[in-house]
Chains A and B, each alone.
Chain A
């Protein structure tokens, strides 16, 4: 009984298929925009995206409200009355300890730290990577391996010895000292980045330049440098965001009047004295996050490439 009925339905099914094959539409089955799969897929993605966007939204909204409105309303509601006063206050008047000149000081400190650190660390690392890729000497790989393993050592392990070295050199607590520190800790990843890039360039170019009599520096400046602008941009993105976002080295290696922006921000927001002004705090937080965010939105795919390069070992 059961067998016969299945057979019947199968036959009916075959009939249906063959008739559809004979006369039905050809080509791919058209996809409906609102298929269950699409709703699930985009639904999940949109919910996730909202979760990721939420804190940014809350920051912006809070920084545009006045304090009375914050006390009454909830953090998600848009501002009834937009005010830019918190931004002005965060930039020019917020207090850390006795200083009340706002985040602007931290901003300029960070800029003063950022520019030389980025330039020096990239210069040093690119030359090291170039030496490793094209002018290998005995023992070079050993030091490089130590460097790469060193990238995984927690900073806390090496901080105090560095303090001593810098103190001996007389640059502890100065801007130069911090630049040296950023150069040291940027080195593993940047050297790896440059070494792999230079090694991927055609060797024939290098050989031809050698035959023409070019030396170490000549080949670096005249051939390698002009050919590797993209990787320099990637390295720059990596360093600008990394150094701007640094907190630990800023705390350890600078003095209060030269604190970078992140340290000053933390001191402003987490200070125990005075009334908490949440709108000013959020404006200050946004101001500090603005630089890496701008770099991120402008650089787009290169940023992804930068972190992927940072992630993938050679």
Chain B
């Protein structure tokens, strides 16, 4: 209705002035910080800036150095393992919990509260708690040993080969509650008649879930996937708190690489190149999704 009015009158800058003034923060943030800042970082990733950003272009040098660095390769490998496993596990666990919660159970609110409370906690708190629970001297390992299995060994935080799984356990504990909530909302959105029809046709419950309900929940799954995925790329505080990237640099992740090079190693160019690679990763996830979600329809 605003548009119709606008069409009748000549359009000039001072129309709707208050609204424009009120939107100045949004316009500034969107254009200067989000768009400008991102472009700035990408441009400076082609320079040899060290302590201070300088426009001294060196082509793809920073990227070559980046991909030659063993620490970066480890970071990327960790991110890949962590990312794929946490996507799979959080979707599966989240969905199974939601499906269980959807059986008209009693104490639903209590269970929901319990499953979701870790999500209220910060990654720092999560990391520190699991650092303690997984502590080899006092934690799970020593408890199981004291029960009689003296050969039992489970100390992911001190074993470079499996340290990323230790982080994964903590991350799943923190994040699956959210997935469960989203999935539950999706399940509740499914028409009761679908269930009745499936039961009349004699389709077993698991088959109904697998072949009817899950395909119907496609939008929920995609949204959840995008949320988890964009969270995965950002993972930083959890690693800092739980392992500080150790033992050695076995649990490094890209976000930590960026921070360390920008603010500690005084090597801005490397930091910019690494953060541009992070941006690329996100783009690979987001662009197909945005295309599927908004490209098909005429209105965005």
Contacts and interface: CB of A to CB of B under 8 A. Distances in A.
A159 B146 CA distance: 48
A244 B113 contact: no
A96 interface: no
A46 B115 CA distance: 11
A147 interface: yes
B278 A154 contact: yes
A153 B279 contact: yes
Contacts of B72: none
Given A154-B233, A164-B53, A216-B19, A74 B177 contact: no
Given A154-B282, A311-B182, 14 more contacts: A52-B118, A128-B22, A132-B26, A135-B19, A146-B35, A157-B41, A158-B37, A160-B262, A162-B33, A165-B32, A216-B19, A248-B237, A288-B122, A293-B120
Nearest to A143: B30
Q: DSSP majority for the B interface? A: helix
Interface in A288-303: 288-289, 292-293, 295-297, 300, 303
Interface in A125-154: 127-128, 130-132, 134-138, 140-141, 143-147, 149-150, 152-154
Contacts, number: 265
A308 interface: yes
Instruction: Bin the interface of chain B by size.
Output: 35 or more
Interface string B47-70: 000000100000000000000000
Contact of B132 (A159, A215, A281): A281
A71 B233 CA distance: 38
B122 A146 contact: no
A245 interface: yes
A262 interface: yes
Contact of B25 (A54, A124, A295): A124
Given A143-B23, A160-B41, A295-B120, A44 B100 contact: yes
Interface string B66-102: 0000000000000000000000000000000100110
A308 B129 contact: no
B193 to A, nearest CB: 20
B139 interface: yes
A265 B31 CA distance: 35
Given A160-B268, A191-B26, A137 B19 contact: yes
A252 B128 contact: no
Interface centre among A150, A156, A293 (most CB of B within 10 A): A156
Nearest to B32: A165
A304 interface: yes
B199 interface: no
B163 to A, nearest CB: 15
18 contacts: A54-B133, A76-B143, A130-B22, A136-B3, A141-B300, A143-B26, A144-B30, A146-B35, A158-B34, A161-B40, A187-B26, A207-B1, A216-B18, A247-B122, A266-B128, A266-B240, A278-B135, A300-B109
B132 A282 contact: yes
- Top 6 nearest A-B pairs (CB, nearest first) are A245-B122, A150-B34, A135-B19, A216-B18, A161-B37, A296-B120
A53 to B, nearest CB: 6
A278 B267 CA distance: 36
Given A157-B276, A285-B128, A304-B112, A127 B100 contact: no
B117 A296 contact: yes
A140 B300 contact: no
Interface centre among B115, B271, B276, B286 (most CB of A within 10 A): B115
B18 A289 contact: no
A70 B138 CA distance: 8
B119 A265 contact: no
B51 to A, nearest CB: 12
Given A152-B230, A154-B233, A45 B19 contact: no
B133 A75 contact: yes
A157 B31 CA distance: 15
Interface residues of A, number: 94
B212 interface: no
Interface centre among A54, A76, A143, A145 (most CB of B within 10 A): A143
A196 interface: no
B18 A241 contact: no
Given A45-B105, A158-B33, A289-B122, A74 B26 contact: no
B223 A307 contact: no
Contact of A74 (B1, B103, B130, B143): B143
A155 interface: yes
Interface string A100-138: 000000000000000000000000100110111011111
Contacts of A288: 122, 124-125
Interface string A269-287: 1100000001001100100
B142 interface: yes
Interface string B182-213: 10010000000000000000000000000000
Interface in A193-208: 203, 207
A270 B181 CA distance: 33
Contacts of B128: 265-266, 269, 281, 285
Interface string B237-255: 1001100100000000001
A158 B122 contact: no
B152 interface: no
A23 B20 CA distance: 77
Nearest to A217: B18
A311 B221 CA distance: 12
A241 B143 CA distance: 34
Contacts of B149: none
A76 B143 CA distance: 8
Given A124-B25, A159-B262, A143 B31 contact: yes
